[in-house]
Structure 1
Amino acid sequence: MSVRADRFVVQRVHNNNVVLALDGSDRSVVITGPGVGFGMSRGTVLDPGRIETVYVPENAARAQIAADTLAAIPVPVLETAAAIVDAFDHSAGLTHSDVLLVPVADHLHQAVRRAEQGIEIEMPLVWEVRNLYPRETRIGQEALEIIAERLGTRLPSQEATAFALHFVSVSFSQKVIDRTVLMTQSLTEIFSRIDAYRGEPLDRQGAAAARFVTHLRYLFTRLAEGREVADAPALLHDALETGLPDAMRIARDISALLEESWGHTLSSSESAYIALHVHRLLAEAGDSPSS
């Protein structure tokens, strides 16, 4: 994790490892590092050699809250959180340590406490997050290995989803975060409608579902950017209406859902391609969407 070269003046020492300070722009920031606060007092300049991370919040009030949060977290947990943020920065080619440290450390602290007490919680959207954000999920799984190695605690595999969501949130702007929520909701609703057609849940773990989700990811991107798929030949429309009427009906239902959710009209060509993917999905699941 990179260390800033600014001059930091102590505002308040929370403990030996967490200090509230002013940076060179007179912003309140939170400094962490082994022994960074030892022997320090208000108005003194921090030793840069002891600084490990610098968290820059939106304002002074949030800086105080962040410092209180980090000061309540045991040092091994805090250091493990910093290692997780490092792993994300390295894998994603980003430097968001100051944004990620507090939420990751706080989540890790609570997750470890739950594990020690034998408390299990249901983690929603595990499948959706894994399919929509495979890179962030992979780094979330790496985080679980870092935790096991450093803390000796094996968290439930679904906790990788929680860490992945932190990574997703820091990778994008607020506009794209809103799009992330819409993508997840759309994906969930589409599969719910396919389940209703089948009369039973579809296997979300199979290769057919994964391929279908890949198509949907490209579709969501086109919707977000206002782009349309290339026109499908008229013969394709006619053939699908004649040979795969159920797949076309499901595709039109999905198109109507997406038009309402995303506020964009889907062309008949887009519906045709959705129908092809729906047909393949259901055929590989053992259904026959052609009658």
Structure 2
Amino acid sequence: MSTVDKSNVTYTGAESALPGFYLFSEYPASTIALSVARLLNPDYKGPAIRVRRSSDNAEQNIAFVNGVLDEAALLAFSAGGDAYVTTLYGQVGGLNAQRSVAAAQPRIVSAGVIDKVNGRPSMYFNGTSHYLVLSGASLNALRNVSQAAIFTVAQLDSLDVTRIAIAFSGGTSPARQGIIANSPTLNRLSTASRRVDGEASSQLVSAADVGANVHVVAQVMNYAANTQALYTDDALSASGVASTSGPGATSDTASLTAYVGVGVNTPMSGWWQGHISEVLVYGTDQSANRSDINQHAMSFYGVAA
């Protein structure tokens, strides 16, 4: 019997044909599912993003092709200029992140070159005016929960002031939970968590500097047990309490609004400066899947442990 050495064979087909490519084929679907670079949900048939080009302010939807953003269509539409994301379409429940004001829209193409991190398309937030907003009845699934988890793929350019990648407002709390880059002198990631309206925020701060690399960041909260954990690239960075008021379910008296790329104080502050590629938010216990979800993103975005 003869054998054939296949050790040097290279797969040249579509990424999406590889086993385990779609996150939601392997793990539960999240309440919020946003990605500018990849199709998370194989059942989602809508566009990836809607963009506005700088030359004439025309807008066009850009699709996913073979599970990833159609870069050729995006470049053809931008026609050598800049392009900005007006809508990042949600892949579950119609929860889209969007802004109609041109000055607020994050960039996706700069002078005919797609903004990327580690070779993958990513929105660039300028640190002064760019942000996206999610609102709607579907966010109510996150209002009164005993556990929650947020996953973000992001890269930070500047930490001269506090920068916020994803945050929620509800009731009288300026931020119920969120992933933050904090401490200008230390360049570290942190989280903020509130369980009930008006309580003081419980914050965690990573023990190590994050630098300017792209990271897969997870914030996992168990309100019933009053625990909170921050993970950076699948490694535990910090842990503590989820609520300064003690254990229990979240209790939001007003509808939630989610913000990508900015804090939710009035006036707004904490503008993110750098890239954000992906946001997943769960209102359920994902402790058993947390590491796998992190590693799934790390593999796609080329992030080392």
Q: Sort the TM-score into its range (normalised by shorter chain).
A: under 0.3
Higher alpha-carbon Rg: 1
Q: Which structure has greater helix proportion?
A: 1
TM-score when normalising by structure 1: 0.21
Q: Which structure has greater strand proportion?
A: 2
Higher RCO, Cα 8 Å, sep 6+ = 2
